[in-house]
């Protein structure tokens, strides 16, 4: 399963983790993963610990998510990036739009 979605026990955190390749092949699945965030205004965590590959379509999908979720979530964190992935986010200035840990 390349995409895994799980709410923390208290419903205040939504964790979406992506394994292997993060690109347009996940476009529908990814949209679905954040389609229902509940009304608790959770914090969303995109866990990329196992993301090896990504391209600009993944960046587009993340931006679309940010637009779609707006105020319905507390914030969006991108966590556990490998250094190379981190560099791609840095160059794309994603640190201004997401909390990157």
Partner 1 sequence: MNELSYKLAPQHATIAVLHDDSQLAHEVLAQLSVLSQLELVTSLLNDDIASIASTSASLVLLIQADATPLPTAVVALLQEQPQAIGVSQQLVTLDYLSAYVQEQVLWPWSKHLLFNRIEQLSQLYQTHQKIDGLRQALAWHKARVDREHQLVEHIFKNALSRNYLNYQYVNTYLTPVSKFNGDLCLISPGPLGNIYMLMADFTGHGLAPATGALPLSQAFFAMADRGVSVAEMVTEFNYRMSRLLPNDMFCAAILLELSANGERVNYWNGGMPAALLINEKGDVLRHLKPTHVALGVLDDEEFDSRVTSFRAPKGSSIAMFTDGVIELLGHQHKFLGADALEILLSTYPKPEDFPQIVKELERFRGETPLHDDLSLAILCCRPTELGQTKTEYEHYGLPFRLESVLQAEQLKQLDPVALILSAISQLPHLRHHRTTIYLFLAEAFNNALEHGLLGLDSKLKQDADGFLAYYQQRYERLQQLREGEIRISLEFEPTRKEVTIRVADTGEGTLQHDGCDDFSENAYGRGLELLRQMTTDLTWDNETRTVSFKYRL
Give contact residues for partner 1 (rule: CB under 8 A): 4, 6-10, 13, 15, 17, 21, 23-24, 27-28, 31, 47, 49-50, 52-57, 59-61, 63-64, 66-68, 79-80, 82-85, 87-88, 91-93, 97, 101
Q: Give me the least distance between CB of 94 and partner 1, in Å please.
A: 9
Q: Give me the least distance between CB of 49 and partner 1, in Å please.
A: 5
DSSP 24: G
Q: CA dist 94 to 6, 40, 57, 90, 91, Å?
A: 24, 25, 14, 6, 8
Nearer to partner 1, 54 or 76 (CB): 54
Strand residue runs (E) in the chain: 3-7, 13-18, 20-22, 43-47, 51-54, 76-79, 99-100
Q: Give me the least distance between CB of 62 and partner 1, in Å please.
A: 9
């Amino acid at each position: 399963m390349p995409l895994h979605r799980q709410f923390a026990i208290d419903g205040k955190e939504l964790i979406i983790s992506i394994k292997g390749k993060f690109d347009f092949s996940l476009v529908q699945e990814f949209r679905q993963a954040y389609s229902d965030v509940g009304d608790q205004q959770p914090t969303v965590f995109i866990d990329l610990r196992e993301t090896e590959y990504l391209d600009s379509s993944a960046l587009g999908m993340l931006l679309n998510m940010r637009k779609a979720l707006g105020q319905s979530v507390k914030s969006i964190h991108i966590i556990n990036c490998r250094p190379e992935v981190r560099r791609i986010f840095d160059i794309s200035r994603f640190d201004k739009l997401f909390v990157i840990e």
